[in-house]
């Protein structure tokens, strides 16, 4: 185990994955968001995971309904969306996410843009947000698999040292504070940060 006693049985976690795309949801092209999210999370988490996946169009009522269902009915502790976060008229994922939120966690959006700014100046066009609904954390991620990996895991230099922290380093502690399951990560992928106990 990475940051938990190996003798302790790790709790399972339900994670909702939502890919928002008009074209992928109608079969025009193959969705890459859901596989990218699942692959990265599988490599990063020690906990057993129950996946609840949805591929939906860029329609705000549909996105809102999907997010509510994943939290309220499916009891997902974490919901990650991919796609629909830019300034185009049909990019409404952040709007839908804010519409179902109980509380906003602005640090997640700020850090996601900081990570992307390391690579491209157009990162400031992203409207990604992080929110809490009930006891669930909902995070909007970018649409490209490479960007998903960078956003979750952060930026590393040639020697593998973290240059910019990925957002997932804060996710396990956030979920723990919300009363969710204790998540542990594999440090070669991402190190979950928790304050040292006094």
CATH number, position 60: 3.40.980.10
pLDDT tens for 15-39 read 999 999 877 777 778 889 999 999 9
**Residue-wise pLDDT tens digits, 39-57:** 999 999 999 999 999 999 9
Alpha helices in 1-59 (DSSP H): 22-25, 33-44
Distance between CA atoms of residues 141 and 163, nearest Å: 20
pTM: 0.92
Please check whether residue 186 lies inside any domain of the structure. Answer: no
Q: Based on the structure, what is the number of domains in the chain? A: 1
**Is 191 a member of any domain?**
no
Other Cβ atoms within 10 Å of 122 Cβ, number: 10
Asked if residue 140 belongs to a domain, the reply is yes
Which residue range forms the structural domain that includes residue 79?
13-177
Let me know if residue 27 belongs to a domain. yes
Q: Are 60 and 81 in contact (CB under 8 A)?
A: no
Contact 29, 23 (CB under 8 A): yes
Q: Is residue 167 part of a domain?
A: yes
- Sort 121 into a burial class: Cβ within 10 Å, 0-12 / 13-18 / 19+: exposed
pLDDT digits (tens, 9 = 90+) for 123-161: 999 999 999 999 999 999 998 999 999 999 999 888 888
> SS3 for 25?
helix
What is the total residue count of the chain?
A: 198
Distance CA 189, CA 192 (A): 10
- pLDDT tens-place string over residues 57-76: 999 999 999 999 999 999 99
Residue 11 DSSP label: P
Closest to 114 in 3D by CA, of 48, 166, 45:
166
Please report whether residue 8 resides in a domain. Answer: no
pLDDT, tens digit (0-9, with 9 covering 90-100), for 94-115: 999 999 999 999 999 999 999 9
């Amino acid at each position: 185990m990475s940051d938990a006693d190996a003798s302790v049985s790790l709790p399972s976690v339900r994670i909702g994955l939502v890919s928002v795309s008009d074209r992928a949801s109608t079969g025009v092209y193959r969705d890459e968001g859901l596989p990218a999210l699942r692959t990265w999370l599988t490599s990063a988490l020690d906990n057993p995971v129950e996946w609840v996946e949805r591929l939906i169009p860029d329609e705000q009522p549909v996105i809102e309904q999907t997010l509510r269902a994943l939290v309220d009915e499916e009891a997902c502790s974490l919901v990650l969306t991919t796609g629909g976060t830019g300034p185009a008229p049909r990019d409404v994922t952040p709007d839908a996410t804010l519409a179902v939120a109980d509380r906003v966690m602005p640090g997640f959006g700020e850090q996601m843009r900081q990570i992307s700014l390391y690579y491209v100046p157009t990162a400031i066009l992203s409207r990604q947000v992080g929110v809490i609904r009930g006891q669930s954390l909902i995070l909007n991620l970018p649409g490209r698999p490479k960007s998903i990996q960078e956003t979750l895991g952060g930026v590393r230099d040639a020697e593998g040292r973290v240059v910019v922290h990925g957002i997932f380093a804060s996710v396990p502690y956030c979920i723990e504070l919300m009363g969710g399951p204790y998540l542990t990560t594999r440090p070669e992928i991402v190190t979950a940060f928790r304050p040292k106990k006094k």
